[in-house]
Amino acid sequence: MRFDVLTLFPEMFPGYLGQSLLKLAIQRGIVETGLHNIRDWSRDKHHAVDDRPFGGGPGMLLKPEPVVECVEEVRSRCSPAGRLILLTPQGRRFDQRLAEEFALSQRLMLLCGRYEGFDQRVMDLLAPEEVSVGDYVLNGGEVAAMVIIDAVVRLIPGVLGDEQSSVEDSFSRGNRMLEHAQYTRPREYRGRSVPEVLLSGDHEQIARWREASRTERTESRRSDLLSAGQADSKTQAEPKT
């Protein structure tokens, strides 16, 4: 799978892409990445990529020409064209389901904004899928692009050592529950002991304890997931009664 990132700050990515799991996937040829500086497509003598909004208002907007031309050229360099994703707080909320869908793609192009956003003609001309990673405002789409790459990459077969491990992740296809509590050594730390059942070797009891832990956590922290899980095959969650 190939990820092309279009950004004004490509230098934010190599540190992230060079980390363990992703680094290995790139070395093995399972994942390929391309970083493209939108500024390289500016034809302006000062290499300007932003300008003030018509009608007034705070902040600067990304100019349409460098963005559109950067997307067009990067898109044409390899095939398939893949999905064009524009990172913006105005977009569809990213979740595990969308990550699973993206993971089926051969190529994702991630277009990162900065400043107050894009000139509307970028969206009108390129018709990207607009995606947000949550209801808060980041300084730019770069961290959001890393979030998407991070969530998608672990779903690609062969990236995780044990293929079962992403299937069992919270929110994955077969699991819309939070994960159960886990313990490792030491058996006692600052007066707190590992639950006896986990040391018992009784796998049936352990499975029951874990199920109870997941249910308790999900009910107390994210009860919205329980109703969403029941509405899995529908588009909307049932209204709570």
DSSP secondary structure letter of residue 41: G
Answer yes or no: is 134 a known binding residue: yes
**Dihedral sign (CA 182, 188, 189, 195):** positive
Active site residue 195: no
Name which position in 37, 42, 88, 218 contacts ligand 6GU (CB under 6 A).
88
Q: Which helix (H) or strand (E) holds 91?
A: strand 83-93
Answer yes or no: is 138 a known binding residue: yes
Answer yes or no: is 6 a known binding residue: no
233 φψ region: left (φ > 0), alpha (ψ -120 to 50), beta (else): alpha
Nearer to ligand 6GU, 12 or 198 (CB): 12
Q: Which residue type is seen at 225?
A: L
Nearer to ligand 6GU, 148 or 177 (CB): 148
Selecting among 65, 69, 100, 116, the annotated active-site residue is: 116
Nearer to ligand 6GU, 126 or 138 (CB): 138
Selecting among 53, 169, 179, 222, the annotated active-site residue is: 169
Answer yes or no: is 135 a known binding residue: yes
CB of 63 to ligand 6GU, least distance (A): 17
Q: Which helix (H) or strand (E) holds 68?
A: helix 64-77
Active site residue 124: no
Interaction between residue 17 and ligand 6GU (CB under 6 A): no
Interaction between residue 188 and ligand 6GU (CB under 6 A): no
- Label each residue of 2-52 as H, E or C: EEEEEECCHHHHHHHHCCHHHHHHHHCCCCEEEEEEHHHHCCCCCCCCEEC
Residue 25 phi, psi (nearest 5): -65, -35
Taking the CA atoms of the chain, what radius of gyration do you get in angstroms?
Answer: 22
> In the numeric block, which tokens belong to residue 112?
């990162």
Interaction between residue 68 and ligand 6GU (CB under 6 A): no
CB of 86 to ligand 6GU, least distance (A): 8
| Alpha-carbon 24 to chain mean position | 19
Q: Are 18 and 122 in contact (CB under 8 A)?
A: no
Nearer to ligand 6GU, 42 or 132 (CB): 132
Binding site for ligand 6GU (CB under 6 A): 87-89, 132-134, 136-138, 140-141, 144
Which residues are catalytic, by number? 89, 116, 154, 169
Which residues contribute to the annotated binding site for S-adenosyl-L-methionine? 113, 133-138
